Chain A
Amino acid sequence: MKAAVLIQRWYRRYIARLEMRRRYTWNIFQSIEYAGEQDQLQLSSFFSFMLNNFTQLNGNGPDLISQLLDPVVDPWLDRETCYNLIPVPESYTGPRLTFPLSISDTNALLSAFKEQQSLHARYVLQLLYETKKLLKQMPNIIHLSTSYTKDITICGDLHGRLDDLLLIFYKNGLPSAETPYVFNGDFVDRGKKSIEVVMLLFAYLLLYPDNMHLNRGNHEDHIMNLRCEEKSRNEIKRPGEICTEVSQTHFRAAGHRSVQQTDEKNDIDRWLSSQQQSKPQQEPKNPEPEKEAVQDQPSRQRRLHFSLLLLIVLVLLFTLLSSNSILPHASPIVDILWSDPKTQEGCSPNTFRGGGCYFGPDITQRLLLQHGLQLLIRSHECKQEGYELCHGGQVITIFSASNYYEEGSNRGAYIKLGRELVPRFYQYQVSRTTRKLTLTQRVRAAEGSALRALKEKLFTHRSELMSGFQQYDQNNTGSVSVSEWAQVLESVLRLDLPWRTLRPHLARLAADGSVEYQSCFENMEPGIPLSQVTPNLAETLFRYRTDIEIIFNIIDKDHSGLISIEEFRQTWRLFSAHLGVDIDDRAIDDLARSIDFNKDGSIDFTEFLEAFRVVHKLDNKDQQVNGKMDGEKYS
Chain B
Amino acid sequence: MVSDVHKKIKAAFEAFDYETNNTVDVREIGTIIYSLGCFPSQTDLHDFIAEVEEDHTGYIHLDKFLPAMAKILLEHKYPPIPEDILLQAFEVLDKEKKGYLEPEELANYMTQEGELFTQEEMDEMLTALADHEKDLIYYKDILSQLTIDPEL
Contact = CB atoms under 8 A, between A and B. Distances in A.
A356 to B, nearest CB: 18
Main secondary structure of the interface of B (DSSP, over half): helix
B128 A440 contact: yes
A11 B125 contact: yes
B110 A438 contact: no
Interface stretch (A14-22, A214-222, A623-631): A14-22
The interface size bin for chain B is 35 or more
B150 A21 contact: yes
Contact of A6 (B21, B81, B121, B149): B81
A344 B20 CA distance: 10
B113 to A, nearest CB: 4
Interface stretch (B31-39, B50-58, B60-68): B31-39
Contacts of A17: 34-35, 149-151
B7 interface: yes
A476 interface: no
Given A2-B114, A6-B81, A440-B128, A16 B150 contact: no
B132 A439 contact: no
Contacts of A13: 34-35, 39, 80
A18 B34 CA distance: 11
A606 interface: no
Given A3-B93, A435-B132, A20 B19 contact: no
A21 B150 CA distance: 8
B15 A9 contact: no
A343 B19 contact: yes
Interface residues of A, number: 35
Contacts of B113: 2, 4-5
A8 interface: yes
A498 B11 contact: yes
B127 A436 contact: yes
Interface in B1-59: 7, 11-12, 14-16, 19, 21, 30-35, 39, 41
B16 A23 contact: yes
A306 to B, nearest CB: 20
Nearest to B112: A4
Interface string B66-103: 00000000000000110001101110110000000000
A351 to B, nearest CB: 11
A5 B19 contact: no
Interface string A333-364: 00000000011100000000000000000000
A463 to B, nearest CB: 28
B117 A8 contact: yes
10 tightest A-B CB contacts, nearest first: A16-B34, A3-B89, A4-B114, A4-B113, A3-B92, A16-B31, A13-B34, A6-B89, A8-B114, A20-B35
7 contacts: A3-B92, A4-B110, A6-B89, A8-B110, A8-B115, A12-B30, A344-B19
Given A7-B89, A439-B127, 15 more contacts: A3-B88, A3-B93, A4-B114, A5-B115, A6-B81, A8-B115, A9-B81, A15-B124, A15-B128, A16-B31, A17-B34, A19-B31, A19-B35, A343-B19, A501-B15
Interface of A: 2-21, 23-24, 27, 342-344, 435-436, 438-440, 498, 500-501, 504
